[in-house]
Amino acid sequence: MKLLITGGAGFIGSNFVHHVNKNYPEYDIVNLDLLTYAGNLENLKSIEKNPHYKFIKGDICNKKLVNDLVKDCHIVIHFAAESHVDRSILDSAAFIHTNIVGTHNLLEAAKNNGNKRFHHVSTDEVYGSLGPDDPAFHESTPYDPRSPYSASKAASDHLVRSYYHTHNLPITISNCSNNYGPHHFPEKIIPLFITNLIEGKKVPLYGDGLNIRDWLYVEDHCHAIDKIIHHGKIGETYCVGGGCELTNKELTYKILNQLGSGEEMIEFVTDRPGHDRRYAIDFSKIKTELGWKPSVTFDEGLAKTIQWYRENENWWKNIKSGEYQKYYSQNYGKR
Ligand code: NAD
Ligand code: DAU
């Protein structure tokens, strides 16, 4: 089995590369990643010399490269994306390019090379924003994206589904809630707050701090994708969630408590424009059909995550200082 993983140098993609290598050591993995600001080969150091693993630096929008790589694989597992909502508010061009044009390019290559199996990793944000008493998002919830990021992911989901209906491309899609864990880029709330507090800096809480997110430990997300690519029904979408809704304020207090910091470290700042109020996921379909459910409780996952950030200060200090982007040119660039 040969997997083409896109975006495998990012947060979830790199955790998934390690998940596959640990659980299916005989699988060949090709990791196609452009190494944008969010891609970091430090995430893959322990696997880089493994004969079953190959890293290719490249853009999913590069037609020839993508066609050659897709031709040579059995399944595409597509993580590569611009993923940060705040960046999409400041400048959305890269989101349209990578998330929509890049996904289309991969779909074309999959279609033109004998209809390759294609799994698309997407987000719960495509469903919009819930009120306090609304039922959780599920596979039939109408799409209602509200940020340039989620609109670009919604467009990519529609394209993926259209290739199933029009071209019989054997696709599956997963729409997952907020992940956290090792390798999470410290622009997102959990790693930003952990690393700020370790550095003795305050944490910026947007608006009234009462927006709600549903949290899932990244390894649980990797298990869900594993189930879907091996046992999922072709053409289907699976909603994946942690069953763990927290307001950002509750989340911040949990981080403060685990790090022994006080509430004076919270700084309320101007809200994110168009800030979705609440996400929640009904994951009963994947639970019933594929036997998946989250296995790591939030307090346990947060403790493991904090421990990882404490033990890997170089990793995030290099990111915060910009040093991490030198790794590729020093280790691969000359080849
Ligand atoms: P990330 O930003 O950490 O990583 C994205 C990776 O994609 C990086 O390694 C980057 O270099 C690569 N990339 C970006 N543009 C590329 C291009 N044009 N060609 C090749 N590679 C490119 O993102 P993440 O948080 O790991 O998210 C991975 C996927 O999961 C995304 O599709 C995202 O929408 C989805 N998702 C994320 C979450 C979450 O909580 N982080 C939740 C649900 C779904
Ligand atoms: O729901 C899945 C999505 O989760 C993924 O599709 C995205 O790729 C991922 O980035 C994440 O999006 P969010 O916008 O929910 O994550 P973020 O960590 O940016 O913000 C989480 C919440 O915390 C949100 O309500 C905004 C708030 N926040 C965020 C930051 C960075 C703050 O209050 N302060 C901050 O500094």
Q: CA 87, CA 64: separation in Å to the nearest integer? A: 29
pLDDT the model gives residue 323 = 84
CATH of the domain at 33: 3.40.50.720
Closest alpha carbon to 18 in 207, 221, 271, 266 = 221
pLDDT the model gives residue 333 = 57
**Strand bridging mode 53-57 / 28-33:** parallel
168: pLDDT strictly greater than 80: yes
**Sign of the dihedral through C-alpha 95, 97, 100, 105:** negative
Number of structural domains in the chain: 1
Ligand number, closest to the Cα atom of 152: 1
Q: Which of 59, 124, 157, 219 is catalytic?
A: 124
Question: How far away, in angstroms, is 185 Cα from ligand 1 center?
Answer: 10
pLDDT the model gives residue 89 = 97
Q: CA 71, CA 274: separation in Å to the nearest integer? A: 41
Give the 3-state secondary structure of 114-129: CCCEEEEEEEHHHHCC
- Domain region containing 165: 2-331
From the centroid of its chain, how far is CA 265? Answer: 28
pTM over 0.95: yes
88: pLDDT strictly greater than 60: yes
139 is catalytic: no
335: pLDDT strictly greater than 60: no
